[in-house]
Chain A
Amino acid sequence: MVTNSYDRLIQALGADLTPVRRLAPPGARTLIWLTIVGAIALALATVSDVGAMSRRLMAAPDMWLAAIGSLVTAVLAAVAAFQLILPDRKPAWALLPLPAAVFWVAASGIGCLRSWLVPETHPASLGEAETCLAFILGISVPLSALLIVMLRQGCPLRPNLILVIGGLACASAAATLLNFIHPYDATATDLTVHAFAVATVILANAIFGGRLLMGKDVLASV
C-alpha cells in the first residue's frame, strides 16, 4: 500500500466517511427556495388587495418595470448563489444578477422622477416608509435563514461573495413582495428607505451569515 505523510489525516477522513447523497442541481435548489418565496406571496395575496396592486402597477410603466426588475434580480441572484456553492463554478456567476439589479434601480429612479413631475401622486409618509423598512427586513430574515441553510449544503469556497449575492436575492425578493402592501407611488424618501433596507439585508448577511454558512469544522479533533 502506498503511504505518505498525510496518512493519519487520510485514515481519520476514511473513518469518518459515510455515504452521501449527491447535491441536487443548482436549478432545482433555486426552484425550492423560490417556491417558499412564492408561498409567502400567496399568503400575502390572501390578506391584501391584489386588484388594487395590479391597477397601481399598471398605472405607470416604471412601477411594473421596477417590480419585474426586483423579481428577476431575486431569481438570478438565487441562481448565482446556488451555482457559487459548487467548487468548480467560476466566480463570474456573481455577475449574473447585476444587469437585472441595474434595471431595477433604474426603473425605481424613473418612478422617483415621475413623482416629482406629476403633482397628483400619493407619496409615502415617513411612517409608511418605516413600514416598508420593517417589511423588507422582517421578510428578509426568514428568507436569508432558509437560503443560508440551503447554501451550507454545498461547499462555499468564497463565503463573503456568496453571502452578498444571497443577501441580494433575499432583499430583492422581499422588495418584490412589498408590492402587495405598498399602496404609494415611489418617492425619493421611499426609494431611499428601500435602498437602505436592501443594503442592510446584504450587509447583515455578509457579517452575520459567515458562521452559519461555514458551520463547524470537519473533524476538528483530527
Chain B
Amino acid sequence: MSVRERAQRLAAVGSLGVRKEHLIQYGVTAITACLVLAPLVPVVYTSFLDRPLYDTGGILSLDNYVRLLSDAEFHEVIRDTLYFAFLTTLISVGLGVVMAVVIGRTDLPGRSILGEIMLWPIYLSPLVIAFAWVIMYSPAGYGTLLVKNLLHVQPWNLYTIPGMAAVAAVALMPIAYLYCSSSAAVADPALEDAARTAGAGPLRILLSVTLPLMRPPILYSAVLIFTIGLEVLSIPMILGGPVGIDFFSSYLYNKWLGGAQPDYGLVGAAAVFLLLIVTALVLLQNALLRDTSRFVTVRGKATRPHIFRLGWVRWALSAFILLYVLLAAILPMVGLIMQAFTKFLTPLAPPWRFLTLQNFAVIFSYPAYTRSITNSIVIAVIGGVLTTFFVALIALVAHRSEFRLGRVLDFLAIYPRAMPGMIVGIGFFWAFVLVKPLGPIRNTIWALTIAFSVRYLPVAFGAITPMLARLGAELDDAARTAGADWWTTCWQILLKLLKPALYSSFILLFIQLIKEYGAAVFLVAPGSEVMGLTMLQFWVQGEAGPVAALSLVQVAITMAVVYGSRKIFKVKIYA
C-alpha cells in the first residue's frame, strides 16, 4: 500500500526532525535570554564600577551607591517621585473604577459611546497628552489665561506635583478602566442575585459585592499605574522642567545628558535602584494575582450581568462624565490642534486670525523632523512584525512543547515588564559599546528597534498567550498522531489558528512602538531620530508649533492604524 510506504519514509525523515525541534527551542530561549539580559547586566555592572565601562582598569566598589544615597537632590527626587506616583495611582484608579462601574453596569445614557471615548488616551502618547495640557492649562496656557481674564485670579497651577499627577492620571486612567470594566462585565450575576435575595438594595450590593469582587483588577491596575508613574519621563520633562521639579526619569536624563561628562556610575546606581523597586512591584503584582480563586466570578455558564437602574441620577452622572471628557481630553486636544494651525495662540485674539500651515511646512522641510516620522513608522512596523513572530515562537515553545526550560522562557518573556524604558535604553547603550560585533547597528534605527521591542515583549506575550491557552491541547495531539512533528504542528495548525491574536499583538505593538521614546534617549544618534524624542527635544527648545503639528501627525498615524485594523482585520484591541 502506497500510504504505508509513505509513512515509512516519513519515519525515516523524522529522526532529523527531532533535532530541528530542539534547535528551535534552544535557539529561541538563547535569543530571548540574550535580549533580556543584554540591557540588565551592563546596567548592574556599571553601577559598581568607578569609571566608565569603556575605560580600562575599572575597580568594583559601592562608591556610586554611596554618592547616590548621600546626594540631597536624589532624596528630593525620590520623595517627589513617590508622591507623584502615589497621587497618580489614586486619581486614575479611583476614576477608572467609577467609570467602569457606571459605564459598564448602569443604565447611563450613551454608555457605549462613553466607553469608547474612555479608551482614547491609551492610543495617545503621554507626551502628546502633556503637550496638550500645557497648551491649555499651564500658567500661560490658553484656557488658564481665558479663565484668568475672566476672574482676575490665577485659577490653578499645573506646574505642581498634583497638577502633574492630574495629567498623568488622564493618560493612565484607561488602564484602570480597562481592567475593571472587563472584570465588571463578566461578573456572575448570581453573586449579586444572592445578595439581593438576602435583602440588600442596589447601592448596598454595589458596595458590598460588586466592588469587593473587583479587588484583583483594582490592585493589579494600581500596581501597574504606580510602576508607570515611577518611570514616566514626559511629565517631569515638560511640566516639571520649567519649575525645577525632577523625578527619577528626568534625574537620569539630566545626569546623563545634562552635564559635560555623563556620570555613568551614578546613573547606573540610580537605574539599579529603580529596577529593584519596579521588580519588587511586579513580583508583588504576581503574588496578588496568585490567590485570586476567591474572586473567581466567571464560570462556564454564559450569563449577562444585571444593569443597575440609576433613575434621575443617570443624567447627572452622564453630564459629569461628559464634562470630564471635555475638560480632560477634548479641550486639550483642541488646544493642540489650534497650536498646530496657528502662528501664535492667545486668548486675546481669535485663533483664525493667525491661521497657518507654517508649522506643518516646518516639519516637512526639516530632515530631522521628517526622518523621525519615517523612522518611527519603520520601527513600529518592522519591530511589530518581528516581535509578534518571535513572541509567538516563545509562547509556542514555553506553552506548547515538552521543552525543559519552558518555565524559564516564560519568565524571561514577561520580565521586561519590570524594566523601565530608560533602563532598557541605558543597558543597550552599553551592550552595543561592549559587544564589538554589534557595533555597526549601534547608531542606527535597528538599535532602537531592538531596545523598543525588548521593552514590549510582555505586551505581545500578553496578547498571544491567552488565545493560545484557549486552543485545546488535543488539536496538537491530533496533528502529532496524524504524523506532524512539533514544528509542523506549530506552523500548520497553531500559528494559523492564532492569526487573530497575532494581528492584535501587532497592532498593540505598533501603538506602543510609535509613541515610545524613553529607551531612545540614550540610543538615539543623528539619523535615527524618533518622533517622541524629537518632539521632546524641540519642545524644550520652545518650538511649540511644530511639536504640536508633529503630535497631530503621530495621533493621525495611530488612529489610522487602529481604525484601519478594525475594519480590515476585524481586530479587537483591548477586548
Q: Do A and B bind each other?
A: no
